[in-house]
Every structure is written in structure tokens, then in C-alpha cells.
């Protein structure tokens, strides 16, 4: 296993198209390329979901998941699953509370890549360096907007997490999880004040901790 972040692709313009990184790496003999991204990092409830994707062909319509309408994300999710190698890691709130968000994020990325059925020649990671990956890697700022494999990973992570939060809404409708997906909104704050947190909230997060202190609540069952 190597923690090297080299060799890197040649300089790639951010306006060169979503497949520019993969094409530049392929020209240097570095293929396949895995993209890694997460969903739920900023939420105060629900899991952190990390996905790793190796695209087996170029797919039309890929974009950063945050820029897509829900129906288009669902459509692209199915297209990606059929035409790529995909692995997803779901990290529950209790693990985030116990180990810390960033540590869980880094370890989730390692685990997702390790579960892929083949070892990639290169790995593109959204946002920050991840040591301990099985191939050279590069952290790309807002990578889900500039590299196809990371855009695909962002879609898979987002759709997976949204489905989990919609399922939790059926169990805990008072929090409105289906609407805000566990992120902090005025409605979510009101629900926390009224009902206190449930077992799927992140108790280590400031918003949840504040409501627990104000209400003297140890968490709902």
C-alpha cells in the first residue's frame, strides 16, 4: 500500500470538461481512476455516506449532485450503478460522535476504495488528502464539479443518503427528515426544541448539544 500522491495528472483546466482529469491520467497510463466523495458531512442528523466509483465508460449528464434536481439524481444514480463499479460506506451518527467527523470521513473513503472489486491506478478525492489509499491520489477542491468519477460518487452518496433519511422520516416524522435530510433548518431547530434529539441525531454537533442543554434532554428513544 502506498500513501504517495504522485504522479499527478498534467495541469488540467477546470473548464476543460468533466472527463478532463480521467483523460489526462489515461494518457499517462493511469487507468482506471476512482472518484471518492461523501454526503452528509454538514448534517446534524443521519449518517455520513461515502461512495467510491470507477466509471467504465463516459456517461452523459453527469454533474455535481448538489446542482441536480432530485429526479435527475435518481435517474443518473441508476445509470451509474449499471455502468460503473460502485462501493458505498454508511457511517452511523454514533460512530461519528465517538470518533469525530473528519476521522470517520477519511476512514470511510479508505474503506469505500478498499471494497472496490479492482484496485484503481489513481484516485481522485474531493476536498482533502486521504493518506493510506492503495494507489496514488489527488485531492481536488470541489472535485465533484470538475471530474466525472467524483461527480458520479457524489450522486451515489447523495441518493443513498437521501433514501436513508426518507426512511427515517417514516419512523420519526416529527423532525421532517424527508424535507431537510438532517441538515440544520429553522424547522429542524424547532423540532429539536420541541421534541429533543432522537437516536439518529449527532449528539456531538453544536446544534444538537445546545438543544440538549437547553431542554435538559438526554435524547429520545
CA distance 218 to 212: 6
Question: Listing from the earlier edge strand, what are the strands of the sheet with 48-55?
Answer: 84-91, 48-55, 33-39, 122-126, 137-140
Cα separations in angstroms, 211 against 92, 107, 198: 20, 29, 12
Question: Does the pLDDT value for residue 221 go beyond 50?
Answer: no
Instruction: Please determine, for residue 203, whether its predicted confidence score (pLDDT) is greater than 90.
Output: yes
> Rounded to whole angstroms, what are the CA distances from 154 to 32, 33, 73, 176, 218?
18, 15, 10, 23, 34
Average of pLDDT values for 174-196?
Answer: 96
Distance of CA 120 to the CA centre of its chain: 19
Assign 131 a pLDDT band (cuts: 50, 70, 90). Answer: very high
CA distance 116 to 81: 13
Only one residue has cell 448538489, namely 66
CA distance 20 to 32: 14
Say yes or no to pLDDT of 214 above 80.
no
Q: What integer is the mean pLDDT of 8-37?
A: 81
pLDDT of residue 2: 40
- Per-residue pLDDT band for 5 (boundaries 50, 70, 90) equals very low
Whole-structure pTM value: 0.89
Task: Give the residue-averaged pLDDT of 97-101.
Answer: 97
pLDDT range class, residue 218, cuts 50, 70, 90: very low
Mean pLDDT value across residues 42-52: 98
Q: How high is the pLDDT of residue 176? A: 97
Q: CATH number for the 20-167 domain, one of 3.40.350.10, 3.40.50.880, 2.30.40.10, 3.30.420.10?
A: 3.30.420.10
Those residues with Cβ within 8 angstroms of residue 45's Cβ, 6 or more apart along the chain or in another chain:
93, 165, 175, 177, 182, 188, 197, 198, 200, 201, 202, 208
Phi, psi (deg, nearest 5) at residue 124: -105, 125
Look up cell 472496490; give the residue.
116
Crossing angle of the two packed helices 186-195 and 206-215, in degrees rounded to 10: 30
Amino acid at each position: 500500500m502506498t500513501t504517495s500522491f504522485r504522479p499527478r495528472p498534467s495541469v488540467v483546466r477546470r473548464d476543460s470538461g468533466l472527463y478532463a482529469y480521467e483523460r489526462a491520467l489515461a494518457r499517462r497510463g493511469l487507468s482506471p481512476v476512482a472518484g471518492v466523495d461523501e454526503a452528509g458531512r454538514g448534517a446534524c442528523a443521519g449518517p455520513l455516506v461515502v461512495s467510491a466509483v470507477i466509471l467504465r465508460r463516459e456517461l452523459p449528464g453527469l454533474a455535481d449532485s448538489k446542482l441536480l434536481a432530485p429526479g435527475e439524481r435518481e435517474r443518473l444514480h441508476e445509470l451509474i450503478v449499471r455502468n460503473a463499479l460502485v462501493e458505498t460506506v454508511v457511517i452511523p451518527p454514533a460512530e461519528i460522535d465517538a470518533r469525530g467527523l473528519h476521522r470517520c470521513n477519511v476512514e470511510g473513503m479508505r474503506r469505500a476504495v478498499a471494497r472496490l472489486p479492482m484496485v484503481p491506478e489513481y484516485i481522485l478525492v474531493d476536498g482533502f488528502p486521504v493518506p493510506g489509499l492503495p494507489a496514488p491520489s489527488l485531492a481536488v477542491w470541489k472535485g465533484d464539479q470538475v471530474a466525472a468519477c467524483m461527480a458520479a460518487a457524489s450522486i451515489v452518496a447523495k441518493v443513498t443518503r437521501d433514501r436513508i433519511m426518507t426512511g427515517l422520516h417514516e419512523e420519526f416524522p416529527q423532525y421532517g427528515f424527508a424535507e431537510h435530510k438532517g441538515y440544520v433548518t429553522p424547522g429542524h431547530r424547532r423540532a429539536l426544541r420541541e421534541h429533543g434529539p432522537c437516536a439518529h441525531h449527532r449528539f456531538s454537533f453544536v446544534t444538537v448539544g445546545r438543544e440538549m442543554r437547553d431542554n435538559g434532554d438526554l435524547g429520545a428513544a
